[in-house]
């Protein structure tokens, strides 16, 4: 049974924002100054009763929508049975069941194992631990524009200084960065040529025999929704196999039906050795995972992987319910339908507005990159202004990109067509009035 939304909080967003300033550290930012009262499949309602169309999905988390009925029921039922025992102390079935699901759903036809964690950054840290342990090598290769998290190791893996790394060093060592295939900005290199350039740098500057892992987002998230040219990922995969390097796909943002398939690697039939997962996995509850080849995952000694909360039973129950919902509602198809509705409208907008250099992305992970007209010079100021105009109109958009000049769209995959269409009209208004 779904309960009716509670009445709006007696405190206004303005009151809460004032209270926040005296209580919450300034370093934790928020995109909008409105405070949430309740949210559903495609909208968020704030404490002032104002409705926002959700083009953020909590940064690609609520793929099944907010408070998805199955997820709510599973959470409630699990919370009444037990809330936490720690899987490393007294194990339970739902952890095992989530691992079974991940082993089946993720790309790769080989035998797999999984381990569960709390956040994306923690999953990435553990993938690096496993790759180093198995190979006995130290180096990790990452890409320009990459984002992998905010812990010390994942800050080192992340490309962008401000705001993620600035004055937070020294960072973990043995991280090497090579160019990403970025068709708009690398002169349109083909995927295989861009990969050959990256591989040459790795071989000359690091040495393949020193590389434990090559870590890549199949479509970059925070870095700007950068979709590599076709053939880039397969060429890197082939090289990693030949060089004995563990190929780690970070599908934390692209995973769980977001791009129109269960995982972004499915588009190019690339099989990773390890995959990191989080965000969309559990309908909004904190859960993350590393899934991969059984012989790599099982190489680590007992006790080498884990954590107090990793695979918390409520988060696991939510994940099983979210995955069921993805199957039941066929969310890969839903993401493709979102693309089919959005892409033509975005392309028409781009044809009329010379500030849009490119429309790109896949499924319900779409973006526009903004430049000074007639150049490739990034325009973060206009990007921020258009995003702010969207917010004034009631459309919750996010920006991203190394240059802050990408406006990205991440609706929940269950958003209904009238709401989606309304959102696109608001977006067009934001462009024409800014
Ligand atoms: N990897 C990618 C590709 C991400 O998009 C993110 C989060 N934006 C992370 C890692 C880190 O995840 P978390 O914030 O859950 O630590």
Question: Do 334 and 271 belong together in one domain?
Answer: no
Q: How far is the CA of 225 from the centre of ligand 1 (A)?
A: 13
The domain of 27 spans: 13-60+330-432
> What confidence score (pLDDT) does residue 63 get?
98
- Ligand 1 pocket test: which of 120, 216, 401 has the largest number of ligand atoms within 8 Å of its C-beta? 120
If you take atom 1 of ligand 1, which residue's CA is the nearest one? 148
From the alpha carbon of 122, which atom of ligand 1 is closest?
16
209 and 268 part of one domain: yes
Q: Using the predicted structure, report yes or no on whether residue 7 has a pLDDT greater than 60.
A: no
Q: Give how far Cα 376 sits from Cα of 14, 189, 358, 403, 431, Å.
A: 39, 16, 10, 11, 19
Tell me the pLDDT band of 1, cut-offs 50, 70 and 90.
Answer: very low
**pLDDT more than 70, % of the chain:** 98
Q: How confident is the model at residue 29 (pLDDT cuts 50, 70, 90)?
A: very high
Backbone angles phi, psi at 22, to 5 degrees: -90, 0
β-pair partners for 116? 289
Q: What is the CATH number of the domain that holds 156?
A: 3.40.640.10
154, 180, 252, best to mutate for ligand 1 pocket (most atoms within 8 Å of CB): 252
- Cβ neighbours of residue 316 closer than 8 Å, sequence gap 6 or more: 78, 92, 94, 95, 97, 98, 116, 282, 287
CA gap 50, 36 in Å, rounded: 9
Are 218 and 120 in the same domain? yes
Do 269 and 129 share a structural domain? yes
Q: Terminal CA-to-CA distance of the chain, rounded, Å? A: 44
| CA–CA distances in Å: residue 50 to residues 37, 166, 198, 365, 424 | 10, 35, 48, 25, 19
**pTM, 2 dp:** 0.97
Distance CA 47, CA 50 (A): 7
Task: Write down which residue in 284, 305, 329 finishes a domain.
Answer: 329
**Residue 299 within any structural domain of the chain:** yes
Residue 5 has pLDDT above 70, yes or no: no
Q: What is the pLDDT of residue 289?
A: 99
**Nearest atom within ligand 1 for CA of residue 146:** 3
pLDDT above 90 coverage of the chain, percent: 98
**Is the Cβ–Cβ distance between 355 and 371 less than 8 Å?**
yes
DSSP conformation class of 210: G
Q: Point out the domain boundary residue: 297, 329, 361.
A: 329
Q: Which atom of ligand 1 is nearest to the CA of 279?
A: 15
Q: Count the neighbouring beta carbons within 10 Å of the beta carbon of residue 62.
A: 29
Last residue of a domain, one of 329, 358, 386: 329
Closest C-alpha residue for ligand 1 atom 12 = 120
Give the pLDDT of residue 10: 80
CA of 279 to the centre of ligand 1 (A): 8
Do 188 and 289 have their domain in common? Answer: yes
Report the chain's mean pLDDT, rounded to a whole number. Answer: 97
Same domain, yes or no, for 230 and 125? yes
Residues 279 and 342 in one domain: no
State whether 253 and 340 are in the same domain: no
Report residues whose beta carbon is within 6 angstroms of any ligand 1 atom: 59, 119-121, 124, 147-149, 217, 221-222, 250, 252-253, 278
Average confidence (pLDDT) over 320-337: 98
**Residue 65 belongs to some domain of the structure:** no
């Amino acid at each position: 049974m779904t309960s009716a939304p509670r009445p709006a909080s007696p405190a206004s967003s303005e009151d809460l924002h004032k209270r926040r300033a005296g209580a919450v550290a300034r370093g934790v930012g928020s995109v909008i100054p409105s405070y949430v009262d309740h949210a559903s499949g495609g909208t968020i309602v704030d404490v002032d009763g104002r409705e926002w169309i959700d083009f953020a999905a909590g940064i690609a988390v609520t793929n099944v929508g907010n408070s998805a009925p199955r997820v709510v029921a599973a959470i409630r039922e699990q919370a009444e049975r037990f809330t936490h025992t720690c899987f490393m102390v007294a194990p339970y079935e739902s952890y095992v069941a989530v691992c079974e699901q991940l082993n089946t759903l993720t790309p790769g036809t080989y035998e797999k194992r999984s381990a569960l964690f709390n956040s994306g950054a923690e999953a990435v840290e553990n993938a690096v631990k496993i790759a180093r342990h198995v190979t006995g090598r130290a180096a990790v290769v990452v890409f320009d524009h990459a984002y992998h998290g905010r812990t010390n190791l994942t800050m080192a893996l992340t490309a962008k200084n401000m705001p993620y790394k600035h004055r937070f060093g020294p960072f973990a060592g043995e991280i090497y960065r090579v160019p990403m295939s970025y068709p708009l900005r690398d002169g349109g290199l083909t995927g295989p040529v861009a990969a050959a350039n990256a591989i040459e740098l790795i071989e000359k500057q690091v040495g393949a025999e020193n590389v434990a892992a090559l870590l890549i987002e199949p479509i970059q998230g925070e870095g700007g929704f950068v979709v590599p040219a076709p053939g880039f990922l397969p060429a890197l995969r082939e090289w990693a196999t030949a060089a004995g390097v563990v190929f780690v796909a970070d599908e934390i943002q692209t995973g769980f039906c977001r791009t129109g398939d269960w995982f972004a690697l499915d588009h190019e039939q690339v099989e990773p050795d390890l995959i990191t997962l989080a965000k969309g996995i559990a309908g909004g509850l904190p859960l993350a995972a590393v899934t991969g080849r059984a012989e790599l995952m099982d190489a680590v000694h007992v006790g080498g992987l884990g954590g107090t909360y990793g695979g918390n039973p409520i988060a696991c129950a939510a994940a099983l319910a979210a995955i069921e919902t993805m199957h039941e509602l066929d969310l890969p198809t839903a993401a493709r339908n979102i693309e089919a509705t959005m892409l033509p409208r975005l392309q028409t907008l781009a044809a009329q507005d010379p500030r849009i250099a490119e429309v790109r992305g896949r499924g319900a992970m779409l973006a526009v990159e903004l430049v000074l007209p007639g150049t490739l010079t990034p325009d973060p100021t206009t990007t921020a202004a258009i995003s702010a105009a969207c917010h004034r109109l009631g459309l919750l958009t996010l920006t991203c990109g190394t240059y802050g000049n990408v406006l990205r769209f991440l609706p929940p995959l269950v958003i209904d067509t009238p709401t989606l269409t309304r959102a696109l009209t608001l977006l067009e208004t934001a462009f024409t009035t800014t």
